[in-house]
Homo-oligomer: A and B are copies of this chain.
């Protein structure tokens, strides 16, 4: 019932014995934005941790003369993320674009580190 406010045009009636709830759109907007802000904070912290891991991978590869790129690994990552996205009802194309966006930044970091060394 919490999400069945009057702005939900899809809800065509009320449940038996339940009155239509009137939710202030401004309150509802505030609630949704608070959730978005919480999610963004979680993602920023996840990404901070991810860049620590990719930095360690870069250092490990450099110290052991391993090639920076690994096409098989990348293909696996894409396939796995697309499947996860699909299961979570997220557009798999967006998940793939997102991974590409992150990987572009990882490459930028690695190039920066190599330039400094």
Cα–Cα, bound, A40→B84 (Å): 10
Given the known inter-chain contacts A7-B63, A43-B43, please indicate yes or no for A53 contacting B25, CB distance below 8 A: no
Instruction: Mark interface residues in A7-27 (1 if CB within 8 Å of B CB, else 0).
Output: 111000000000000000100
Interface residues on A, range: 35 or more
Nearest CB of chain B from residue A52's CB, rounded to whole Å: 8
Give me the interface of A with B, judged by CB distance under 8 Å.
3, 6-9, 25, 28-29, 32-33, 35-37, 39-51, 53-54, 56-57, 59-61, 63-64, 66, 73, 77, 80-81, 84-85, 88-90, 94-95, 97-99, 101, 105
> Is there an interface contact between A88 and B57, defined as CB atoms closer than 8 Å?
no
